[in-house]
Amino acid sequence: MPESLYGKDLICTQEWSMDELVKCLELAEDMQKHRFSPKYTKLLKDRTFFMFFYNPSVRTRQSFECAATELGGHAQYLEPGGMRLKTKKSAGETVEDAAQVMSRYACGMGIRILEDKVAAYGDGDNMLREYAKWSDIPIVSMAHDKYHPCQGLADIMGLRKHIGENLKGKKLLLYWGHGALARSWCSVQEAALLYSRFGMDVTIASPEGYDLDPAVIAATKKNCAENHQKFEIIHDPKAGYSGAHVVYSRNWMSPNAYLNGEFQKPLEIEKALKYTDWICDEAKMKLTDNGLYIHPMPIDRGHEVTDEVASGKRSIIYDVAENRLHVQKAIMALTMSEKYK
């Protein structure tokens, strides 16, 4: 049994021990079974959780606000546009001041910052760590440019349900899909890190020129090695499917996405739309070992994956989306509720 997680930040799952991650998953699983049980509905009674959305979101906003509600608390939806924070270009409040005051009001804070709201890859991660430095309350990533820990845990919770608790040796294909959205690296990097952590064999497939963060790749390799599993990166749109137990298809931007200090969205989309072979379809899925289909949503259907696969029998996308709620409740309970002190 790990020590109490009370007060701990969750910026990257790599910074939590396996014991801590499993404790969180087990609590999430019990919270799913006993969703409105009084043992859970008072954990954050009358407490405030701040949700700080630099970028808007569907799933994340809905599931976090819902999580706070189900724990008896309240999530405040905050947009920095309404917050007069100091930026390089304008006068305003420092993170030092903002974070210290927010610590007086709330039991925890979630932050989402990625894509066009950062000027260079890594800026979002730095921002979260700046908040963590000055806050007395836990900071939880609600997706930022580097990681998406809540998505990773929701994925694993889905795999535990559909495959079983022991994921050792199961093969993940992390597959680049073409598309019209120029997506952040956070979900796929999180998946690489966390699935490998849980003992899975990881293959990343993308066209040339879509390398992920080298530090994340190195950490994933290390995770695989520690679990005696294979790790590989390939550039073939089909080969990786062979024998896969889980296929995760998703578009992601190239390492050139932030050239010149700005998010090159139109260029990225134009480039990505050319790789029409890179779509997860039924023919490719037939090459897998009866593989599950997984995606963090929202899905760009017709680009990342066909309707047939996304709405097919082996798709667990809605289960995983639902899990966002349960794992976030577990994270908030463990790190923010005095009952788990």
Q: Which amino acid is at 241?
A: Y
63 binds its own copies (CB under 8 A): yes
Q: Please identify, using beta-carbon distances, which residue of 112 and 170 lies nearer to its own copies.
A: 112
Residues 6+ apart with CB under 8 A from 193: 12, 13, 14, 147, 152, 216, 219, 220, 223
The 154-193 site mask, x for binding its own copies (CB under 8 A), equals -------------------------xxx------------
31 binds its own copies (CB under 8 A): no
- What does the alpha-carbon distance between residue 248 and residue 288 come to, in Å, rounded to a whole number? 12
Least separation in angstroms between CB 131 and its own copies: 14
For tokens 């593989």, name the residue.
291
Residue (of 206, 199, 174) closest to 187 by Cα position: 174
Least separation in angstroms between CB 231 and its own copies: 31
At 62, list the tokens.
């809905």
Least separation in angstroms between CB 167 and its own copies: 23
Q: Please identify, using beta-carbon distances, which residue of 9 and 65 lies nearer to its own copies.
A: 65
116 binds its own copies (CB under 8 A): no
Q: Which amino acid is at 134?
A: W
In eight-state DSSP terms, residue 86 is -
Q: Please identify, using beta-carbon distances, which residue of 100 and 166 lies nearer to its own copies.
A: 100
**Residue-wise DSSP of 291-341:** -EEE--S---BTTTB-HHHHTSTTB-HHHHHHHHHHHHHHHHHHHH-GGG-
74 binds its own copies (CB under 8 A): yes
Q: Please identify, using beta-carbon distances, which residue of 197 and 303 lies nearer to its own copies.
A: 303
143 binds its own copies (CB under 8 A): no
E-strand stretches of 58-184: 74-78, 108-113, 139-144, 171-176
277 binds its own copies (CB under 8 A): no
Binding site for its own copies (CB under 8 A): 36, 41, 45-48, 50, 56-59, 61-63, 65-66, 69-70, 72-74, 76-78, 81-84, 91-94, 96-98, 100-102, 104-106, 179-181, 297-301, 303, 310-311, 317-318, 321-322, 325
